[in-house]
């Protein structure tokens, strides 16, 4: 059964939070409560260039993805950064991640974006198997310096 994907609203916080915490745990990360609250506010504020989609299966939130639009020097349309894709453990292998990615593609295209891109950790081989079916590797290597959290 294909999950129902829709944009999350402020009323979805209680369903979103366990998946957000699961995502952070998966990547052995933690954030302050202030950062989590700020993130949620941004994701559900229509004035922000970001939003969240949720995949529902049997009326239960089974997966989330966060989307951030940003400008590019290479195209006239914005780029769509697909961030924080996570599927509940009991929903894995059931098409939830695919449905979320396809929904991001559709939304980004409708919003005039030129490209969808995302990152995954080099050790996340399971996710990479799916991503190889849905997108092309860019060949670029990410470098970063953390300034603050």
- Which tens digit of pLDDT belongs to each residue from 99-135? 999 999 999 999 999 999 999 999 999 999 999 999 9
Residues 6+ apart with CB under 8 A from 27: 121
**For residue range 18-68, what is the model confidence (pLDDT) as tens digits?**
999 999 999 999 999 999 999 999 999 999 999 999 999 989 999 999 999
Q: What's this model's pTM, rounded to 2 decimal places?
A: 0.93
Count each helix (H run) and each strand (E run) in the chain, helices first: 4, 5
Beta-bridge partners for 52:
66
User: pLDDT at position 1, please?
Assistant: 72
């Amino acid at each position: 059964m294909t999950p129902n994907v829709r944009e999350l609203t402020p009323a979805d916080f209680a369903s979103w939070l366990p998946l957000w915490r699961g995502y952070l745990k998966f990547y052995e990360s933690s954030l302050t409560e202030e950062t989590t609250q700020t993130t949620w506010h941004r994701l559900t504020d229509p004035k922000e260039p970001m939003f969240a989609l949720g995949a529902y299966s049997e009326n239960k939130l089974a997966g989330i993805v966060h989307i951030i639009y940003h400008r590019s020097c290479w195209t006239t349309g914005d780029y769509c950064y697909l961030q924080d894709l996570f599927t509940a453990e009991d929903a894995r292998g059931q098409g939830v991640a695919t449905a979320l990615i396809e929904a991001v593609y559709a939304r980004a295209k409708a919003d005039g974006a030129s490209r969808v891109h995302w990152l995954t950790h080099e050790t996340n081989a399971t996710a990479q198997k799916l991503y190889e079916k849905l997108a092309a590797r860019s060949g670029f290597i990410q470098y970063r310096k953390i300034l603050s959290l």
